[in-house]
């Protein structure tokens, strides 16, 4: 189901707000596939609220505002929360499939 939610959010230009860290895999796949295929298809961003800290809705709203009001880019990025470091956008390991699957010799 999350694949459809991600695609719908991207199509509508909406930020995907989730508690599910596995959405990070969809974000990585999106970035890898579009780079590999040489197409530019942006998504509005993904914000992953912490699932285990059980924030009050008011706290969640405040934290979302921090990201939206900040100078950090949201488009095509994913933001995760860690109590040890706050909000961060993890780097994409590699955007080149050729490094992992070299062509014929």
Q: Which residues, other chains included, contact 80 with Cβ-Cβ below 8 Å and sequence gap of 6+? A: 21, 24, 48, 87, 88, 89, 90
pTM (2 decimals)? 0.73
pLDDT of residue 104: 54
**Nearby residues of 22 by Cβ (< 8 Å), 6 or more positions away:** 2
Nearest residue to 2 via CA among 23, 30, 29, 24: 23
15, 73 Cβ separation under 8 angstroms = no
pLDDT digits (tens, 9 = 90+) for 38-97: 887 788 888 989 888 889 999 999 999 988 887 668 888 888 888 898 888 887 665 554
How far lies 69's CA from each of 72, 78, 88, 96, in Å? 9, 15, 15, 32
């Amino acid at each position: 189901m999350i694949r459809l939610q991600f695609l719908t959010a991207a199509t509508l230009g909406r930020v995907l707000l989730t508690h599910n860290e596995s959405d990070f895999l969809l974000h990585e796949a999106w970035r890898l596939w579009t780079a590999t295929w040489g197409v530019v298809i942006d998504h509005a961003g993904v914000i992953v609220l912490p699932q285990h800290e059980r924030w009050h809705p008011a706290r969640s709203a405040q934290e979302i505002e921090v990201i939206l009001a900040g100078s950090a880019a949201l488009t095509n990025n994913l933001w995760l929360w860690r109590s040890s470091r706050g909000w961060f956008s993890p780097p994409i390991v590699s955007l080149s499939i050729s490094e992992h699957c070299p062509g014929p010799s």
